[in-house]
Structure 1
Amino acid sequence: MKNPTYGRSRIVPIFIAALLCICGCSLDYGQASQAQILSPEFVFYDARFTRVQNKKIKLKLQADKLEQYTGMDVMYGQNVHFALYDERGQSSLTGNCMLLSADKDNKVYHFFSNVYIKSYEYRAEISAQNLRWNEDTEILDSGKNDFVGISVEKPNGARIQIEGKGFSAYKKDRSFRFSENISGTLTEVKDKTNTEGAEDD
């Protein structure tokens, strides 16, 4: 596959930031004592959130556990699942991760462990060990040594799969890059018109 280090991505990272903003989260260990960090003010188990706009469901979020910390407005989510919906009420994007945290002051959001995001609208999937979304720079990236895999299905059914380390995705032009350990495959679909009218021997 030609130039596998750079491709066009239809994954829309801004959805991730929109999801986290509803939680009103911030993360700043420097503003709290160790006792505050270890003792959450509120703990919610089997938490479920639904966001409704113009009488239509826009987002659903559920987590096994959510923790709110005293004096920091910090919230962590464990085993988080989320779904975004389009104007027709159909899922446009779904995802999950084992741990979710956010620093709203710096507009930096983290997804940790077994991260998976699927866009139905753009026929794209992303899986990663860890991901970070920076709202100011509009960049979604991973750690230098973290593997990330992307799979995109084309309208004709062909599928492009790329994985590697040092992943970065840019909302501005919907592109993505890998810095090392890059590999990829292109699965093409056989043209059915070539076999139309053919008979078995």
Structure 2
Amino acid sequence: MEKKYSVAIYPSQDVIDSVKTMKDYLKSKIDWYNSCNSVGHITICEFTITESEIDKYKQKLVKVCDTFTPVQVHLDHFGSYDNAGAFYIAPNEESKIVLKPIMKKIQESLKPLKLKKSDDPHMSIGRKLTPENLKIASQLFTTIDIDFLCKEIVLRELDPVKKQFFVIDTFLFNGNAQPEFVQGSLF
């Protein structure tokens, strides 16, 4: 049976709590909206495969994450994708510069899967918002200054009933550099 999976960066618990507070506040102003109940995260990619294939891709994630060193991420402004009705918290330029290669390497490690990729690191507050609700969100939230240590990624599976992802595995950044393969000589 095919299942939908997501690979994401989860921030620290205090950032997750802050994002939940923002989502709840927005919900109190505009009622239910897409992603109002999802845990704060930065999506790297999503894919659909059979359950029997997932272990092979978990091993790939273990291998790639082992090479990453934890990085500090600073979220310092809000933004929106008007065409998608998305309102989000964005990292500063320095954080984007360190997150993008991590995201790209993780996506590359999951070849040959057909991925729905995110190339722009961000933490959604709301998705599929109407233009009016997007405007309300941008008026409610104007300044932000939070940071966390990005030291792992999570693999999540979609609960088809709740329509929410839940974490099934965590992959730590261990900072182990890949050994360079050097062609030796026999003589």
TM-score using structure 1 length: 0.28
More relative contact order, 1 or 2 (CA 8 Å, 6+ apart): 2
- Structure (1 or 2) with the larger CA radius of gyration: 1
Higher normalized strand content (fraction of residues) = 1
